[in-house]
Structure 1
Amino acid sequence: MPLPKHPRAVITGAASGLGRALAVELAGRQAKLLLADLNEEGSRETARLVASAGGEAHAVRCDVSRSDEVAALVGEADRALGGVDLVVNNAGVSAGGQVGETPLEDWAWVMGVNLWGVIHGCHAFAPRFKEQRSGHFLNIASAAGFLSIPGAASYCVTKAGVVALSETLRLELAPYGAGVTVLCPTFFKTQIVESGRGFDQATREAARKLMGRKGVQADYVARQAIEAVDAGRLYAVPHRDGRWMWRVKRALPELLQDVVMPRLTRKVH
C-alpha cells in the first residue's frame, strides 16, 4: 500500500548523495525523518534541507556495520518520530580491485556496510513491521546486483546479496501487510567512487564521466524509488540502460555475460 500522507522514515547513509535526495523527496510530504550516518555534519546539513522543504528531521550517528548501533535506531525512531513507516537501507561504500588482489580488509569493509548494513536494518525493523502489520523497506542495491563488473567484485557481491535478501524478505513480510522494494540504479553522481578504496585514477575519471549524465541524477532516482514504494513494486530500476540490461540478463544471461559486458567494460577500462 502507499506510504502514509506524512510518513515516518529512517534513512541510513543520509549525509549526502542518494540518502540526502531521498530525505528531501520525502520532506515534500511533510515527513518526519531519522537521518543516520557516520558523517554527523553531513546529516545535520541534510536535516536543514529537509526543514527547508517542509519536513522534520533528527540526525543520529550510526555505523551500519555494527548490529547494536542499527538496533538502537528502533528506539530512536520511536522516541523521535513516534514510530516508523519506512526504513531506507541506503548506506554504501565501494572498493576496486580484482579477485585475489583486493585486500581482504577491503572486502570486509564493503561487506560490512553494503550487505551487513542492510541485513542489520532488516533484522532490526522486520519484527516491528510484523507486529504493526504495516511498513516498507527500501533497500538500495545497484545494477551491479545483476551485472558483472570486472574489478568491482566486492561491490557486485554485496549488491547481489541485497537483491536476494529483498526478494526473500518480501515473501516473508507479505502475510503481515508489509512490503519491500529494492532499488537498482546504474550511474548517477555520488561520492561512492571518490571515497572508495583501490580505484586507480583512470577508473575514477571514467566513473565521473558516466555519473555526469543529465536528467538522471540523485533527485530523479529518489523520486523513482519513492514512486516504486508507493506502488508496492519489488524492483525499481530507474535508468533506461539498467532496464535494458536487466531484461537481457533475464532472457539471455550468457549473451550479457559473454558479449555485452566485455564490450561495455572495455570502454570503461
Structure 2
Amino acid sequence: MSSNKKSELAARRVAITGASGGLGRELALCFARQGWRVAVADVREAEGEAVVGELRTLGADAFYQHCDVREETDFETLLAACEQHWDGVDVLVNNAGVASTGRIERESLESWQRLLDINTLGVVRGCKVFAPAMKAQGGGHIVNIASIAGIASSPKMSSYNASKAAVISLSETLRAELSGDNIGVTVVCPHLFRTGLLDSMLTTSERAKAGVGKAMEASPLSAADIAQMIYRAVQKNKFMLLPHRATHWMWWLKRLSPSLHQWFSARTA
C-alpha cells in the first residue's frame, strides 16, 4: 500500500452492506476492534441495531442505516449519513447477497432477476455512488464480496455463478479504472463457510440446499476468520482474496488449462 493510501485510510471509516449478520457482522466487529468507525447498512433494522450495540460495547463509533442494495437512493442516503457523521467514508464493503441452486430449465427468470439485482447490481450501485465521493476526498478502498462460484462455475448454480462472475469482472475493471484516483479494490472469493446464506437461498431442490448446508459446516474457516483476512487485504491493498487454500487450484487450473477445468466441472453435473 502506498504512503498516500495509508494516510488516507487513517481516518478509519467503513460502511458495510448486509452487516446485520453472518460475514457482514463479523466484518463490522473486526473493523471495530481495530478502532474503525462503522456504518451498519442492512434492510433488517432490529438485527442491524443489535450489531451497532455490540460495536458500541467495544467502544466503536457506529450507527445503523437502512440500505436495500436494490435501490440506488438507499446507497445515496448511506453515503450522506457517513458524510454527516464522519465527513466521509474510507472503505465500502459490498457484502449483501443471496444464494441459489437449480438447473437452468428449472430456475425461473424471476429468480434470476432477483439474484442479479442483489448480487450484481447491488455491487454496481454501491461502487457507482461511493466512487465519486472517494475520488473527491483523495482516495479510499472498495471491497466486493464475490465467491469461488464465480470462478469454478459449478453445474446447477448458473444464476449464482453468473452473478458472482460479474462481480469479479467488475472488480477487475474498477481496479484499473480507479487506481489513478488512489482507490483500491479488493474482490473476495470464498468457498462455502458457516453463515446465514441458507436463510435467503433461492432453490427448487431441498436436497441441493441440504448439500450446501453440509459443505458450509465442513469449512475449515469461520466467518470471523474470513473477516480478518479481508481486513488484512484492505491494509495491503490486495486485489484477489481466495480465503480457502483448497480453492487456489481452481483459480490456476482455469487459467492454465480451460479445457481441463471444463472437463472436471462436467464430472460433477
TM, length-normalised to structure 1: 0.93
- Aligned residue among 212, 222, 226 for 1:221: 226
Q: How does 1:10-29 map to 2 (within 5 A)?
A: 10-29=15-34
User: Alpha-carbon deviations, 1:120-155, whole Å to 9, x = none?
Assistant: 000001111111221000000000111112221111
| Counterparts of 1:113 and 1:240, CA distance in 2 | 27
- Shift of the alpha carbon at 1:6? 5.4
- Aligned residue among 41, 46, 51 for 2:46: 41
- Aligned residue among 241, 247, 251 for 2:252: 247
**2:114 aligned with 1:105, yes or no?**
no
- Aligned residue among 167, 171, 179 for 1:174: 179
Aligned partner of 1:4 in structure 2 is: 9
Q: Does structure 2 retain, via aligned residues, the 8 Å contact 1:34–1:80?
A: no
Q: Secondary structure at the residue paired with 1:65?
A: coil
Change (3 A) 1:101 1:201: closer
| Counterparts of 1:245 and 1:20, CA distance in 2 | 28
Aligned partner of 1:58 in structure 2 is: 63
Q: Secondary structure at the residue paired with 2:9?
A: coil
Runs (5+) with no aligned partner, structure 1? none
Aligned partner of 2:133 in structure 1 is: 128
TM, length-normalised to structure 2: 0.93
**Percent of pairs with identical residues:** 36
User: Alpha-carbon deviations, 1:165-224, whole Å to 9, x = none?
Assistant: 111111111111111000000010112133212242211221122111364010011111
| Counterparts of 2:59 and 2:124, CA distance in 1 | 31
| Counterparts of 1:135 and 1:244, CA distance in 2 | 31
Q: Does structure 2 retain, via aligned residues, the 8 Å contact 1:184–1:235?
A: yes
Change (3 A) 1:250 1:53: farther
| Counterparts of 1:204 and 1:100, CA distance in 2 | 18
| Counterparts of 1:199 and 1:43, CA distance in 2 | 30
Q: Secondary structure at the residue paired with 2:144?
A: strand
| Counterparts of 2:178 and 2:55, CA distance in 1 | 30
Name which of structure 1's ranges 5-14 and 168-177 shifts more when overlaid on structure 2.
5-14
Runs (5+) with no aligned partner, structure 2? none
| Counterparts of 1:122 and 1:4, CA distance in 2 | 17
| Counterparts of 2:256 and 2:232, CA distance in 1 | 26
- Shift of the alpha carbon at 1:229? 1.1
Number of paired residues? 264
User: Alpha-carbon deviations, 1:94-137, whole Å to 9, x = none?
Assistant: 22222232111111110111001000000001111111221000
